[in-house]
């Protein structure tokens, strides 16, 4: 196998399995909270009616729409139906995302010698969690429907910058035996949080604070398990299907 084929093979298998695990966890941990939050969103979206004048059929139908659907995405917008269809699309999105993250994990780890076994993969999984969930989540915690948010472009710029700074900082600390470089790495990790994430003009929301707190905890724990599973699977699959440590080094490096 060539280097590219090996990377894609390991990432595809690990991402597929980790995506399925992620979907199962979400079904019990985060999806019920999202559905609960949508009830607050739909009740807020329901327009007030003037009972002093008769409402036409179009107005009545539009007002009843939030009650008939789990989430109102606007006129003409499509959304998957509740039940199997919604879970199917969620599973597909999770698998595609997991394969993408697995590709990043395998490619980066190979630059530092590769993940030799599942135990080493767990540490890489923790690193992925710190980079992609923990660090950006400190400034931009997971949000529920109907919660206010800052400008999307500004949030994306801050998120990408935080992920990049955290990844480089951790690499300097873990793979460079140099105190000055470790200090630089620590500074890189801290700087995005000193700058601060973009915040909405108002934090008023119909979502109860307790529900949002439950969602943040559930989403964070789910992400942690996902990354640990993904890292462990990468190490396990890489070693099991691609030979011994010496052969792996020849194959990838």
For 142-163, the pLDDT digits (tens) are 998 888 888 899 999 999 999 9
pLDDT in tens, 41-99: 666 555 444 444 334 333 333 333 333 333 444 444 556 666 667 788 889 999 999 99
Among residues 107, 105, 103, 164, the alpha carbon closest in space to that of 136 is found at: 164
Is 51 within a domain? no
Q: Based on the domain organization, do 72 and 8 belong to the same domain?
A: yes
Distance between CA atoms of residues 68 and 246, nearest Å: 60
Q: Based on the domain organization, do 97 and 19 belong to the same domain?
A: yes
> Which is higher by pLDDT, 247 or 170?
170
pLDDT in tens, 184-218: 999 999 999 999 999 988 888 888 899 999 999 99
What pLDDT is attached to residue 85?
76
Is 194 within a domain? yes
Q: Based on the domain organization, do 64 and 130 belong to the same domain?
A: yes
Is 81 within a domain? yes
Q: Based on the domain organization, do 78 and 200 belong to the same domain?
A: no
Is 161 within a domain? yes
Is 98 within a domain? yes
Q: Based on the domain organization, do 193 and 212 belong to the same domain?
A: no
DSSP string, 127-183: HHHIIIIIHHHHHS----TT-----HHHHHHHHHHHHHHHHHHHHHHHH---HHHHH
Q: Based on the domain organization, do 123 and 107 belong to the same domain?
A: yes
Q: Based on the domain organization, do 19 and 111 belong to the same domain?
A: yes
Q: How many domains does the chain have?
A: 2
Q: Take residue 103 and report the two structure tokens written for it.
A: 């590709």
What pLDDT is attached to residue 39?
84
Q: Which domain holds residue 180?
A: 150-204
DSSP-derived 3-state class of residue 49: coil
Is 245 within a domain? yes
Q: Based on the domain organization, do 42 and 25 belong to the same domain?
A: yes
What pLDDT is attached to residue 43?
65
Q: Based on the domain organization, do 196 and 220 belong to the same domain?
A: no
Mean pLDDT, rounded, for 214-228? 96
Is 219 within a domain? yes
Q: Based on the domain organization, do 138 and 233 belong to the same domain?
A: yes
- Residue 110 · residue 253 · CB < 8 Å: yes
What pLDDT is attached to residue 247?
46
Is 230 within a domain? yes
Q: Based on the domain organization, do 117 and 134 belong to the same domain?
A: yes
Q: Based on the domain organization, do 13 and 71 belong to the same domain?
A: yes
């Amino acid at each position: 196998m060539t280097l590219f084929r090996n990377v894609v093979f390991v990432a595809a298998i690990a991402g597929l399995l980790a995506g399925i695990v992620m979907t199962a966890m979400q079904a019990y941990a985060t999806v019920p909270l999202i559905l609960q939050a949508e009830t607050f969103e739909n009740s807020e979206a329901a327009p007030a009616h003037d009972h002093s004048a008769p409402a036409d059929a179009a107005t009545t139908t539009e007002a009843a729409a939030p009650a008939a659907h789990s989430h109102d995405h606007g006129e003409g917008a499509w959304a998957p139906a509740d039940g199997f269809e919604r879970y199917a699309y969620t599973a597909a999105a999770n698998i595609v995302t997991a394969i993408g993250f697995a590709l990043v994990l395998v490619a980066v780890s190979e630059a530092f010698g590769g993940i030799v076994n599942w135990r080493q993969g767990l540490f890489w999984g923790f690193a992925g969690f710190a980079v992609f969930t923990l660090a950006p989540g400190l400034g931009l915690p997971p949000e529920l429907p109907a919660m206010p948010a800052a400008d999307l472009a500004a949030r994306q710029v801050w998120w990408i910058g935080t992920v990049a700074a955290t990844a480089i900082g951790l690499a300097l600390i873990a793979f460079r035996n140099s105190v000055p470089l470790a200090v630089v790495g620590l500074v890189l990790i801290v700087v995005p949080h000193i700058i601060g994430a973009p915040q909405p003009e108002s934090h008023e929301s119909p979502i109860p604070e307790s529900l949002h707190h439950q969602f943040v905890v559930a989403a964070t724990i789910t992400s942690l398990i996902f990354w640990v599973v993904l890292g462990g699977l990468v190490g396990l699959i890489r070693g099991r299907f691609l030979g011994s440590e010496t052969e792996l080094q020849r194959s990838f490096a």
